[in-house]
Every structure is written in structure tokens, then in C-alpha cells.
Amino acid sequence: MSIKEQIEALRQELRQHNYNYYVQDNPAISDYEFDMKLKTLQELESNHPEFFDASSPTQRVGGAVTKNFQTVVHEHRMYSLDNSYSKEDLLDWEARIKKLVDGPIQYTCELKYDGASISLTYENGRFVRAVTRGDGVQGDDVSENVKTIKSVPLQLKGNYPPKFDIRGEIVLPFDGFNKMNEARIEIGEEPYRNPRNTASGSLKLQDSSEVAKRPLECLLYNITGANLNMSSQYESLEKAREWGFKVPDAAKLVDSIDEVLEFVAFWDIHRHDLPYETDGVVVKVNSLQQQEELGYTAKAPRWAIAYKFKAEQVSTKLLEITYQVGRTGAITPVANLEPVELAGTTVKRASLHNADQIAKLDIREGDTVFVEKGGEIIPKIIAVDFSKRPNDSEHTKYITHCPECETELVRQEGEAQHYCPNYNGCKPQIIGRIQHFISRKAMDIDGLGGETVALLVNAGLINNYSDLYQLTKADVLPLERMADKSAENLISGIELSKKIPFERVLYAIGIRYVGETVAKKLAKHYKSIDALMSASTEELVNVDEIGIKIAESIVDFFKVDENIGIVNNLKSVGVQFALSEEQLANQTDKLTGQTFVVSGVFHSVSRNELKKLIEDNGGKISSSISSKTNYVVAGDNMGPSKKEKAEKLNVSIISEQGFLDLII
């Protein structure tokens, strides 16, 4: 046997032993035998570097050091899930989806593991990269660290697609977490707080050899890509197992919401027997074709929902109520609590939301209160233990003036929150607006964080976000913890942000109620900031999905001379305030005023490409047929009830080619 054949044989043998141990939990040889074979392979590869292979089992040991984790745009967006907390929530979800798809619906039920979300990319059966979820649109490349996780295959088995992404959770099993803490306590170090945060933090360690020492696991649950040759979610889980991925076997295929609820009830009790943290169940429509029919909202798939187990509750003492000022001037009351352990973390503060919530719960300083984590993330006070209320307790009097600038607060009719109207003179509002402007979903200015923004404002170097573009390296160098290289990166990051596209700039400038989705709609409709600035309230409400509240907020924003001045300053330095020529090139008004429903399977273009063509040509997409629908674009396997409804309402049904003829 040649050296190359020896190396290949050892690699194949070690991959199988690795799979047996970390995926199947059924080792065939001892740890010592495995280590000896791995050592032999390392020596052979070291002596014969011409046979290097990035997917070799020897590449798991780590050693690469990553100083900066590169930001990568996900080829397929990683959506979040809508949450449900009751049987009624699930029944409402079922009713919504049954209106949108034809025929019987099966569901795949899976446990919702509480770890760090990850997307793994494979090409020709080989591991290519691992990217964190980030904001769903882009995340950090943590490939070197994820390669050290033994349950992540570097080379797949069987008959797999040429390219795909597979999503899952990086988790830290309880046993491994406890052993890590025992070792830390033994050497006098503080123990880690909980498995989830420790798993997430592990992915951003700079030294991958340190990650390799941690007993992390990767549990996979969703395959994404083109030409996958599978028809259902349950089938995709089975195929992923065949290819060598660690896919939890708790998943179950069911035919009704009643069976979903049985699955939930079982695991609400038995989840405590699992080796990992779980916080609920994910329910997915099983058919991939029906998933395509249902599509997505701006934030989540319509075809899936998370059922969250009841949150853990604890009681503690409310020490003091303080007040925070947000970037919009909104006042948020905060409960400062006697520290208490809750769901693996120490809770010291909780939001009280607004004056109405305080009055409704009759919350007072000195009360003993019940706290839970809403969705197991944000602590909230749910009730007061009146039996423990002190005799000298006094009603909470909500503040009347801003805690920062002393301006008298206002509360508009129909609004839940009080606001500080000192828009341009209240420092937390100024800092908050600039922090929003530089955030990842907005201008994404590398090298500039929230703390640095506060330092810049407090030092008098900037008063609004347009001032950022006047900063020099000499201006920022004197700031606390600002080294020469950091200053260079900050100025460079500001300069690069001038290339950020118009829709994100529009979101970044912080018009109240204009989030990411609304900003995209407005940018597509008006195409430039000048056109938007001159739009009236009446014109704005005629734009798809723009209501009166958003329209009035936009008009009010551009009535303020200082806001106009800031926009003009940004324009003068080259920030993008219009759609690019490339974006405009493929846009027409051919379908303006027309509403389309897309149903079935298509061949010339994908469903998503078809929807993009509708929007690029000025049309509107609806998920259900109504009297306002102009066309149903029907592909193969269009549901009979949709066809019947379209015919009943005299809605035109056109083919894929018929649609393409409309936009020629």
C-alpha cells in the first residue's frame, strides 16, 4: 500500500470511528486506540504535506488563531421563529395556514435546543464554512472553531447534494458543562453561568485549540439550498442523518394539532431527562411544497412556530424604580431587584414597560415580586406578593420630568409611554440615535461601538450622526482605550459606510416607526430621499403597507430644520440617499397597482425569483386570494381550493409564461 493509500485508509477509518462515538454514541474502539491511530496519521501527514486535506480528522485539533471574525452574508437568510405559549396560539396558527394552503397538513415536531445558532455550508460533501446567525442576514465566520467540534462532519457520507447549508444549534451538554466548572473551581476560577452562554462564547474564542478542549456538540435540524431532491422536512432530517450529521431522534411526524399538543405535553415533563438545555418545541409544516406556498413574513416563516415551555419563575425584592431615556425620547421604568438566579443567569433588573403597567400591577418599591423570563430571554415582573408588602408602603408616583435633562414629559393620546420632547438637547437621545445609526443592520460602522459613541458625544466631538464624517484620527486618538490602530479602523469604518445602500441609510437615520421592512418599501417606492422628503401624508398612505401613523411620523421628521440639515450634511459627504443605477436598472412600473398571488411549483424561475420580478415591476404580492387580487400566477400542483376561489371571484389565473409576458 502506498503512503497516499495508507493516509486515505486511516482518514476513512478515523472518520467512521468519530461518527460511531460522537454521532451514534456507540464507540467500536477505545480512546487510546483512537488516539494512537490519529497520532500515526498526523505523523504521515507531517512527513508528506503534499497529501494535505482540509477535511482530514487531524484538522479538528485546533491551533488556528482568529483575531477578527469576518462578517459573511448568508446565502439563505436565517429567519427567527414566531413564538406561541398556549393551545389557543397553536390553533390560531393552524387556522391561518389552512387558509393559505390546500389539502391535509402534516407537521414535524422537533425539540427546540437552547444553544448558539449556526449555519454550516457543504460543497461536494466537504465542510466549507460555519457562520453564526448574527442578525439573520449576516453573521461571523467561525469555521476554524466549529471544525474542532467532533459531531460536525468534515466529509459527508452517501448521496448528498453538490451544495447546501444546514442549520442547527451548538450546545454544551450538562455533563461537559459541569466538568468544565469543576475544573475551574479547582483552580480558583469563577464557574461559567450556564451552558447556552458558554457554548455561544466558545464560538468567538480566538484560539481554536481552546475550543477543541470544550465538549461542544452540534445538533442539526434544517437543510437549505437549491435542487435538494427531497419533499418534506421529516425526510430532510432522515437524509441528514444518513450523510453523517447529528440529528436528534426526538423528532416526530404527526397529522394534527392534537398530536402536536401530545408531543408538547410529553416533552414538557421529559425534557428534564435530556442531556441538553431545551426551552420548547418547534412545529413545522412537513411538506416543503406547502412551506413554499406559505412563505415568510418580514421576520419569520409562516410555516413554522415555536411553542415555548412555561418560563421559570422566582420571587425577589424590588429595591428601586429608576427611569431610562431611549433614542426616541421614550421613558422606560426599570425595576432594580435584589439579585436572584433565574434560568441559569443572575437577574438584577427588569423592565416595567410604562406607567399603565405599574398601575395595573400596583408595583411599589420594597415589594416582593414574582419575576420570569419572557421567552426565557428578557426578565419581567408578572405579579406582586401582596402578603409580604410592608405596612409603610407608598404608591409609585410616575416621574413628570426627564431624569436626564429635566424637560417636562409628554404623553400623547393613545400612547402607552411618556416621552421627553427635548429631541436635540437630551443627551441619551442623541447618543441613542447615533448608536442606532452605526448598528449592524443600519450603517454597520466597523470599529465604532456604543461606548465609543458615548465618549465622542461627552467629549463634545459629535452632536449628531452626520458629525461622524468630520472626525479625524487626531480627534479620536485621545479617547479612553483608543490606540493608533483602533483610531485608524474607526475612521476607515466611517469612510466605508458611505457605500451602504439607500434603504439601510433610510433605516439608520431613525425616523420613528420606520424599521427595516418599511425602509425597504419606501426606498423602492420613492427611489431617493428628495422624493420622500417632499411626499405628503396623503401620498405616503397610498404606498403599500404604510399606515397613517408611519406617514405622519415621516412628514413630522422632515418638518424639523435640523433633520433636513443633517440629511444634507450626509448627502454632501457621499452617503447614499438614492437607489443605485444597478438597483434601478431592473425596476419598472408595469405592474403598479396590481396584486398577485403566487401558487404552485415553477420551472423557468423559482418562486422567490417570481416574487422579486413582481415587486421589481411595481406589483404587490398577497398570500391569499381576495376581491382585490388581480392575478393568480399558477404553477404545477396549484391547490384546487385556490383555483375555485379565484374562479368564484373572477380573478384571472395566468401561467408562469403568461406572467413573464406581462413584464416583457
DSSP state at residue 407: P
Is residue 203 exposed (0-12), middle (13-18) or buried (19+ Cβ within 10 Å)? buried
Residue reference for cell 441559569: 344
- Give CA–CA dist 42/343, Å, rounded: 43
Other CB atoms within a 10 A radius of the CB of residue 656 amount to: 19
Alpha-carbon separation of residue 233 from 324, 348, 491, 514 (angstroms): 45, 41, 47, 35
Q: What is the DSSP letter of 330?
A: B
Phi, psi of 369 (to 5 degrees): -125, 155
Instruction: Using only the alpha carbons of the chain, give its radius of gyration.
Output: 28
- Which three three-digit cell numbers place residue 319? 429595591
Buried b (16+ CB within 10 A) or exposed e, 86-100: eeeebeebbeebeeb
57 contacts: CB under 8 Å, gap ≥ 6: 11, 14, 15, 18, 38, 41, 154
DSSP string, 229-266: ---BHHHHHHHHHHHT----TT-EEESSHHHHHHHHHH
Hey, CA dihedral for 621, 622, 626, 632, is it positive or negative? Answer: positive
Residue by residue, DSSP assigns 189-200 as: PPPPS-HHHHHH
Q: Pinpoint the alpha helices (H) of 516-625.
A: 516-526, 529-533, 537-541, 548-557, 561-572, 581-585, 607-616
- How far apart are alpha carbons 168 and 379 in whole angstroms? 26
DSSP code at position 70: P
How far apart are alpha carbons 578 and 559 in whole angstroms? 20
In which region does residue 179 sit, left (phi positive, over 0), alpha (psi from -120 to 50) or beta (all else)? Answer: alpha
- The question of whether 112 is a catalytic residue gets the answer yes
Query: By C-alpha distance, which of 149, 251, 126, 241 is closest to 199?
Result: 149
> Phi first, then psi: what are they for 123, rounded to 5°?
-130, 125
Residue 246 Cα distances to 20, 106, 147, angstroms: 11, 24, 14
* Catalytic site residue from 37, 67, 98, 112: 112
Task: Give the rounded distance of the alpha carbon of 460 from its chain centre.
Answer: 35
C-alpha cell at 324: 431610562
Place of cell 485508509: 9
For 219, the 3-state DSSP assignment is strand
Dihedral sign computed on CA atoms, order 501, 505, 508, 510: negative
333 strand-pairing partners: 323
DSSP 69: P
Catalytic residue positions, numbered? 112
